[in-house]
Amino acid sequence: MNANTTPADSAAPSTEEPGFTIVRDFAAGRGRVWEAWTNPEVMALWYHPEGLHTPRETVSVDLRVGGIYAYTMIVDDTGEEFATGGRYRRVEPPRRLDFTWGNQGEEDSSPLVSLEFDELDASTTRMTFTLTGLPNDSGAVDSVFDGWASAFDVFEAEIAG
């Protein structure tokens, strides 16, 4: 059952910096959604858009303010790899998680992701995902938005499953 009851994904940036916000409801308790964002075993199941995969052995998490996380997404058809990661800026289980997101080795200069998890009831969590600080490159915001929206479709299938 699709528990995505919020309006369609929103692409309105929350600041002057290029970026966007996506709000999604998931059929899972807040603790389960938090775990999906912070447990390497669960992250490997969904931390990629459709058509890619994330091998478990590439996922590492140091879940503390200042800690680094890393993972590698691999394109299913070509084998092309994207080594991705960031640094945790705010860790408030199970309500708030802020971190940079970009290429491994560029943790301190990458765009910022802010996540808020609101428990709507015992089995439904609203996630508000905001990404700011994207490059002003033509198409960068749309491309990254599409990738995260696709990853959240994978997330929903894994969390609900």
In a domain? residue 1: no
CATH number of the domain where residue 140 is located: 3.30.530.20
The predicted structure's pLDDT at residue 8 = 36
The predicted structure's pLDDT at residue 159 = 83
In a domain? residue 132: yes
Do 120 and 138 form a contact (C-beta atoms < 8 A)?
no
Q: Is the pLDDT of residue 135 over 50?
A: yes
In a domain? residue 5: no
In a domain? residue 117: yes
The predicted structure's pLDDT at residue 114 = 98
Which regions of 11-109 does DSSP assign to beta strands (E)? 19-26, 52-53, 60-61, 68-75, 81-92, 96-100, 102-103
In a domain? residue 99: yes
The predicted structure's pLDDT at residue 18 = 87
This prediction's pTM: 0.88
The predicted structure's pLDDT at residue 161 = 61
Contacts of residues 13-18 at CB distance under 8 Å and 24 or more positions apart, as own/partner, are 13/132, 13/141, 14/130, 14/132, 15/132, 17/132, 17/133, 17/134, 18/132, 18/133, 18/134, 18/135, 18/136, 18/140, 18/141
Domain count, the chain: 1
Residue-range definition of the domain harbouring residue 43: 19-160
* Among 41-45, 79-83, 109-113, 132-136, the least confident range: 132-136
Express each pLDDT in 90-113 by its tens digit. 999 999 999 999 999 999 999 999
